[in-house]
Amino acid sequence: MILLFFLLLAGCIFNLGIGLWVIYEHFFTIDVPAAIGHTMQLRILHCSFLLAIKYGNICEWLGICSVPKFLRFLLDRMTIKKDPTLMVKNLCFGTVPVRLYQPKATSTSLRKGIIFFHGGGMVVGSLDVYNSLCCYLSRKTDSVVLSVGYRLAPEHKLPCGINDCMAASTHFLSTLETYRVDPSQVIFCGDSVGGTIVASISQALVTQPDLPKIRAQVLIYPYLQGFNFQLPSHQQNKNVLFLTLNIAIYCIFQYLDIRPSWKTAILNGAHLCPEMQKKSEERISVHNIPKRFKERGYQLMTPSPFNEDAYQENKEILSPRNSPLIADDDIIAQLPEALLVSCEFDILRDDTLLYKKRLEDQGVPVSWHHIEDGFHGVLLTFDNKYFCFPCSLRILNIVVNFINNL
């Protein structure tokens, strides 16, 4: 009994220490912009997020599992809400798990098709986590939605995830008649790294004329380039919850299999060879970002001297597949109409602004919405009873209206 008492006491003290550590980290290292509003809910939600990461770190240190795997375990415990108006089927396209959402109501004509790629930095996220969002899209747009469950890092590095998404997309595009989808009305949609996948696959498919042409692409606060991590949004929002610069770099490095020792070199631009430096100056120039987005503070940073080893070991981060913002003009010019959504308090904000200019310069129609009180990841709170932020539903309805008006 005495031993059990001391074990319980030790456990309580340990958990108290973890809790205090989380509170300290939240209040002293994380920015919580007042403009977002709902500050108390935001702090509670973020502290819960940090707590999950800390326990994940402990599991990783003990050799039980990686941090991403622990977070996925927690997320997969979420209750899946069923929608009585939809038929939902779990399928496999080859080895890729997908989930198909189809309205139960009969339709006299072919429906639009939405291929959805979830976010999560290529390390978390799943069909279940995005189930409610896909149900909402299917119901509100009367469309057939295909959600792709691609493989995740660190267990599956580049190119596993993007290959899964390409395989699922080409299979669906080749069999649209099976699902009564109009071949001229297929839309790609994704948030965060899902937006990266949308851009990357949209670019790849312009060279495959045997498949139906994509009608539109929807990119919600996407990551689009690994060239310049010193843009105004990186400097202004590097400590803003939930996607800090450190977490973003962690996710990128996990998927691309980059050693942590290269972090400083990549953040300072030392991985850019002269050719890539020139491309960066042309296509990722800070001068292409409107002045108002620099008003919260920005210091122009000169890239560090070129490091040949940093380039040779990490050049995959610079490929158009992983940095679609850098794609050639002739590829960009062939892309479908786009909806871009950016959030003010997001380190990836300026990726969207720069992609908007590249698309417009090549004559691609662009609808852009900037969410002044938005932050990265907010979309997933849209149906959360206690932690829903109004801008999440606003973003989702922007997407719905865009699709309905195509």
pLDDT, tens digit, for every residue of 275-329? Answer: 999 999 989 999 999 999 999 989 988 889 999 999 999 999 999 999 999 999 9
Q: Give the least confident one: 251-255, 306-310, 384-388.
A: 384-388
Tell how strand 144-148 and strand 96-103 pair up. Answer: antiparallel
Q: Does residue 200 share a domain with residue 146? A: yes
Residue 356 neighbours by CB under 8 Å, 6+ apart? 340, 366, 368
pLDDT reported for residue 384: 85
Query: Which tokens is 365 given?
Result: 């129609």
Q: Does residue 181 share a domain with residue 104? A: yes
Domain boundary among 52, 75, 98: 75
Q: Does residue 373 share a domain with residue 263? A: yes
Q: Does residue 298 share a domain with residue 166? A: yes
pLDDT reported for residue 6: 61
Of 138, 169, 376, 392, the catalytic one is 376
Is residue 314, in this structure, part of any structural domain at all?
Answer: yes
Q: 258: helix, coil or strand?
A: coil
Of 132, 138, 147, 192, the catalytic one is 192
Q: Does residue 215 share a domain with residue 291? A: yes
Q: Give the least confident one: 15-19, 216-220, 222-226.
A: 15-19
Q: Does residue 94 share a domain with residue 41? A: no
Q: Structurally, how many domains does the chain consist of? A: 2
pLDDT at 10 over 70: no
Is residue 108, in this structure, part of any structural domain at all?
Answer: yes
Catalytic annotation present for 346: yes
pLDDT, tens digit, for every residue of 56-98? Answer: 999 999 999 999 999 999 998 887 888 999 999 999 999 999 9
DSSP letter assigned to residue 31: B
Tell me the average pLDDT across 87-116: 96
Of 128, 164, 346, 351, the catalytic one is 346
Residue 3 — very low, low, confident or very high, per pLDDT cuts 50/70/90? Answer: low
Catalytic annotation present for 329: no
pLDDT reported for residue 182: 97
pLDDT above 90: percentage of residues in the chain: 86
pLDDT reported for residue 157: 94
| First vs last C-alpha separation in the chain | 69
- Domain of 182 in residue numbering reads as 85-406
> Mean pLDDT across the chain, nearest whole number?
94
pLDDT above 70: percentage of residues in the chain: 98
Tell me the average pLDDT across 224-244: 96
Q: 96: helix, coil or strand?
A: strand
Catalytic annotation present for 192: yes
